[in-house]
């Protein structure tokens, strides 16, 4: 269980993203249509975007606090980030990608990550030869190997074909439960939000429309959900 | 081939390699700065670096002669510690490096600009500091362009004439390069020697371009 203390505003193109979530959760799903501000919220936690004002803390560790003039540099945030376009380093093989983040302190054992994410047959491959699902698993391992205090994922199932999605979902559950790494992930697929998260946040046009346990949130906002899906 | 001709070929090749080595670190650093950083005087640096490309090489040579002569700002300082540059092999290397630098910087800069910032950001989220990001992500991803730029710089150095003859002269056995040699031999009616140097120039240039194309394909 992690204490998410996320309260910030961020300029996002035409609108301002106002984000305010205070919750203890193992996995937080940010759900909403594309362009709603989900990715920006994730990038604000990772430190790749600077909020106009506000405070971001995970488990009491403050990452940014504009009132206190505090802004932890990206490399010291310990936030594993898997962007939607995954961005494995193209000049490194799978093993060198996974072990890129050499940070002091305890880290998940490489063999644990290899087992959990089923990477054994991939370790010596070139990243250019990987499928979407394989790339996703390698990127998750790379982020986890750097010993993050929270793992941020942007649309983790987007690049994965339907039959292989179950493996990624199982991996996310494994990361959450076996490794105990809290997750924040962005999705536009309700079923993904329902299976892994224990707290869901519905965002549209930079505003939070609802938040709560995923099932309850989606039941309450069933009309919103079908509306989003039809877009 | 006479010993003199052979020595000229070897000296020119070695000087061009030394010039490429000399321009590599500052060239890559300036290329990275221009591609990745905004700073005061950036346009000035851009212009200064490109100047040897558009100025007559003889004018660049004259500028170097002034800089490195015993009364020049750099030459005076070097003279105090007993180093002379003008009309020495070192002057050949410096002239070659200055003339090759713009080609290296422009090509390497394009390489750095092609590396998306996002790879660097990912490396940062994994805990990498600025130097590690540069050396393990930015530099390898721009390596192909840097290599191409170095080959261009080397080729330019190999054929350098105008700046070299002003700042280093054409001293046989000391500062005479292929290009300067061809000129000097033709000037003094030694057409046969000039023709041999010409043939050697063609062979070296061919090998350099061929090798760089091979390297670029394999990179």
Q: What is the DSSP string of A130-190?
A: --HHHHHHHHHHHHHHT--SEEEEESTTTTS-GGGHHHHHHHHHHHHHTS---EEEEES-H
> What's the average model confidence in pLDDT over B127-132?
94
At B176, the pLDDT band (50, 70, 90 cuts) reads: very high
B114 touches chain A (CB under 8 A): no
Q: Which domain holds residue A173?
A: 2-85+148-230
- Find the CATH number of the domain harbouring A8: 3.40.50.300
At residue A229 the predicted structure's pLDDT band, cuts being 50, 70 and 90, is low
Partner residue facing B119 (CB), from A48, A80, A87: A87
Q: Which of residues 125-144 of A touch B (CB under 8 A)?
A: 142-143
All residues of chain A having their beta carbon less than 8 Å from the beta carbon of residue B141 are 90-91
With residue A194 as reference, give the H or E element that holds it.
helix A190-196
Residues 6+ apart with CB under 8 A from A95: A123, A124
Q: In Å, how far is B113's CA from the nearest CA of chain A?
A: 16
The residue with greater pLDDT, A75 or A105, is: A75
Range(s) of the domain holding residue B141: 3-218
Q: Is A97 helix (H, G, I), strand (E, B) or coil?
A: helix
Considering only the beta carbons, identify the residue of B127, B137, B140 that sits closest to A75: B127
Task: Pull the structure tokens for residue A178.
Answer: 């076996």
Residue A215 at interface with chain B, using a CB cutoff of 8 Å: no
Rounded percentage of chain B residues whose pLDDT exceeds 90 = 85
- Given this model, what pLDDT does residue A108 score? 65
Q: Which two tokens stand for residue B193?
A: 């020697």
Q: For residue A100, list chain B residues with Cβ-Cβ distance below 8 A.
A: 123, 126, 128, 136
Task: List A residues 59-98 in contact with B (Cβ-Cβ < 8 A).
Answer: 73-81, 83, 85, 87, 89-91
Each residue of B69-108: pLDDT tens digit? 999 999 999 999 999 999 999 999 999 999 999 999 999 9
Of B118, B127, B141, the CB nearest to A103: B127
ipTM confidence = 0.91
Q: What would the two tokens of residue A122 be?
A: 């991939």
CATH number of residue B184's parent domain: 1.10.3720.10
Distance CA A92, CA A33 (A): 34
Structural domain total, chain A: 1
A193 in a structural domain: yes
Question: Residue A168: inside a domain, yes or no?
Answer: yes
pLDDT the model gives residue B23: 96
Strand partners, A12: A15
Across the range A99-116, mean pLDDT stands at 80
Categorize the per-residue pLDDT at A100 as very low, low, confident or very high, splitting at 50, 70 and 90. very high
A58 falls within a domain: yes
For strands A183-187 and A199-204, give the pairing: unpaired
Q: Which tops the pLDDT comparison, A223 or B143?
A: B143
Alpha-carbon distance of A181 to A169, in angstroms, equals 15
Domain count, chain B: 1
pLDDT given at position B219 = 56
Is A74 close to B121, i.e. CB distance below 8 A?
yes
């Amino acid at each position: 269980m992690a204490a998410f203390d996320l309260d910030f505003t961020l300029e996002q193109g035409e609108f301002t993203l106002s984000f305010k979530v205070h919750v203890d959760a193992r996995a937080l799903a940010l759900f909403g249509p594309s362009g709603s501000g989900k990715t920006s919220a994730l990038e604000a936690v990772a430190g790749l975007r600077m909020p106009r004002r506000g405070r971001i803390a995970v488990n009491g560790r403050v990452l940014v606090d504009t009132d206190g003039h505090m802004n932890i540099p990206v490399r010291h945030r310990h936030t594993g980030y898997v962007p939607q376009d995954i961005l494995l380093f193209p000049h490194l093989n799978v093993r060198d990608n996974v072990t890129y983040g050499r940070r002091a302190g305890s880290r998940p054992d490489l063999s644990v990550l290899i087992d959990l994410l089923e990477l054994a047959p991939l370790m010596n491959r070139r990243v250019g030869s990987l499928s979407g699902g394989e790339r996703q698993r390698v990127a998750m391992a790379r982020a986890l190997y750097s010993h993050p205090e929270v793992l941020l994922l942007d649309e983790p199932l987007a690049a994965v074909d339907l039959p292989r999605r179950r493996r990624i979902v199982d991996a996310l559950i494994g990361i959450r439960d076996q490794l105990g790494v809290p997750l924040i992930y962005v999705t536009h697929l309700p079923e993904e939000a329902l299976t892994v998260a224990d707290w869901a946040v519905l965002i549209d046009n930079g505003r939070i429309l609802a938040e709560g346990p995923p099932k309850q949130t989606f039941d309450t906002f069933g009309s919103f959900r079908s509306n989003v899906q039809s877009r | 081939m006479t010993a003199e001709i052979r020595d000229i070929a070897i000296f020119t090749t070695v000087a061009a390699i030394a010039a490429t080595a000399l321009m590599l670190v500052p060239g890559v650093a300036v290329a990275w700065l221009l591609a990745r950083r905004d700073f005061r005087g950036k346009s000035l640096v851009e212009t200064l670096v490109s100047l040897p490309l558009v100025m007559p090489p003889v004018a660049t040579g004259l500028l170097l002669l002034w800089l490195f002569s015993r009364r020049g700002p750099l030459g005076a300082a070097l003279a105090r510690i007993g180093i002379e540059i003008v009309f020495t092999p070192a002057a050949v290397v410096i002239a070659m490096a200055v003339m090759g630098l713009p080609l290296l910087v422009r090509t390497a800069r394009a390489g750095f600009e092609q590396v998306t910032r996002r790879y660097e950001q990912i490396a940062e989220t994994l805990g990498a500091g600025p130097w590690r990001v540069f050396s393990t992500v930015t530099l390898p991803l721009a390596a192909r362009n840097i290599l191409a730029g170095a080959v261009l710089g080397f080729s330019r150095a190999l054929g350098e004439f105008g700046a070299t003859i002003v700042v280093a002269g054409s001293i046989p056995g000391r500062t005479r390069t292929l290009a300067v040699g061809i000129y000097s031999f033709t000037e003094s009616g030694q057409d046969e020697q000039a023709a041999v140097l010409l043939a050697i120039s063609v062979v070296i240039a061919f090998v350099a371009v061929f090798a760089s194309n091979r390297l670029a394909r394999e990179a």
